[in-house]
Structure 1
Amino acid sequence: MQEAFQGSLDICERHAERLRWAINRLGDRFPLSPADLDEFSDIDLAVVDQFIMRFSKLQDAIGAKLLPGVLELTKEPGNYPAFIDKLNRLEKIGAIPSASQWLQLREMRNQFSHEYPDDPQIQASLLNKAFSLATVLLDAFEHIKAFSLPYQNPSN
């Protein structure tokens, strides 16, 4: 179990590193207006794609692999059939800062799955919202890592 959890952490760390890179690369461009998107070079658009992909992949990997792994590591009793039940338990034990915050991050990831190529207003709005939430996502990841550390090395 420890090895699988470490593998999930490693995957999340890779996504987080690339998300941080994209944030640093795009940081001075935010907040975006719809007109700003028209001025983006192909390189800028590739970085935006990287940002969207890494935000989505990090949020998904944490939700699908890391959070269930935390429940296993901590040997939390009970059955959590619904995802919200898992989130509420994780919040209660201090593994995540907020269940509602996590749902907001998940919703942002879901919004990225819809494309609006002909609506720069929606594109700019989504990117601005995601850019502010990216720090929240990265902070949540760091929080989960710190919380799980004692459970990964129980002999310490």
Structure 2
Amino acid sequence: MDSKDDTDRLRYLIDLIDREDAHLLAVRSRFLGHCCDVDAQRMQSLLSDDVGVDRLESFGAKFGRMQDTVMDKFIPVLLRLSGERVVAAIDNLGKMERLCLIESADAWLQMRNLRNRLVHEYFDRPADMAPALERACRFTDVMHADYQAMREYAQSHFAL
């Protein structure tokens, strides 16, 4: 891709991730309110009806979608436009951390590992999912803040 194509792609991805971010924060609020503390008892309560199950599925899907879009699409384009070589996702995250555009590459890797647990494991043992849900809830703030930093960087450095 040439830089104009990358700039157009970056503009498109910012619009997309802005929506994903808003939807993720909204479903988190509907599902968990303003408290990310989740223990076995709260998990049981959250999943006591179909609305809670639907909200968990929605939260997990939106969490995974935004994380995937940022890591697999947005970061590579942003790095290319910044003159960096795009490599494996883990190395790209390291570059983003060194550029101070994300707080922690390790946090993003943990987010990636959490997405599958949120979608697949809660039916078997909901109480075991409580710590994962709590971490994912807290990671939404990290994802949101890091995305805002990347977005501001992109908008200030490229003709968007």
Cα offset for 1:35? 3.2
Match of 1:54 among 53, 62, 69: 62
CA deviation vs aligned residue, 1:65-117 (integer Å, no higher than 9, x gap): 100011122122xx443322222222222222222222222222243354241
Q: What is the aligned partner in structure 2 of residue 23 from structure 1?
A: 28
- Bigger mean CA deviation after superposition, 108-117 or 90-99: 108-117
1:95–1:148: 8 Å Cα contact kept in structure 2?
A: no
Aligned residue identity for 2:58: Q
What does residue range 135-146 of structure 1 map to in structure 2 within 5 Å? 135-146=141-152
1:73–1:151: 8 Å Cα contact kept in structure 2?
A: no
Cα offset for 1:144? 1.1
Q: Normalization by structure 2: what TM-score? A: 0.82
In structure 1, how many angstroms separate the alpha carbons of the residues matched to 2:105 and 2:131?
24
In structure 1, how many angstroms separate the alpha carbons of the residues matched to 2:36 and 2:110?
20
Cα offset for 1:51? 1.2
Q: What is the aligned partner in structure 2 of residue 10 from structure 1?
A: 15
Q: Normalization by structure 1: what TM-score? A: 0.84
Please report the RMSD computed on the Cα atoms of aligned residues, expressed in angstroms. Answer: 2.1
- Bigger mean CA deviation after superposition, 2-11 or 99-108: 99-108
Aligned residues: 152
In structure 1, how many angstroms separate the alpha carbons of the residues matched to 2:71 and 2:21?
14
- Residue ranges of structure 1 left out of the alignment (5+ in a row): none
Aligned residue identity for 1:44: G
What secondary structure, in the 3-state scheme, does the structure 1 residue paired with 2:101 have? Answer: coil
In structure 2, how many angstroms separate the alpha carbons of the residues matched to 1:65 and 1:42?
33
In structure 2, how many angstroms separate the alpha carbons of the residues matched to 1:38 and 1:96?
34
Q: What is the aligned partner in structure 2 of residue 127 from structure 1?
A: 133
Cα offset for 1:124? 1.7
Match of 2:124 among 118, 127, 138: 118
Q: What is the aligned partner in structure 1 of residue 103 from structure 2?
A: 97
In structure 2, how many angstroms separate the alpha carbons of the residues matched to 1:35 and 1:86?
39
Aligned-residue identity in percent: 26
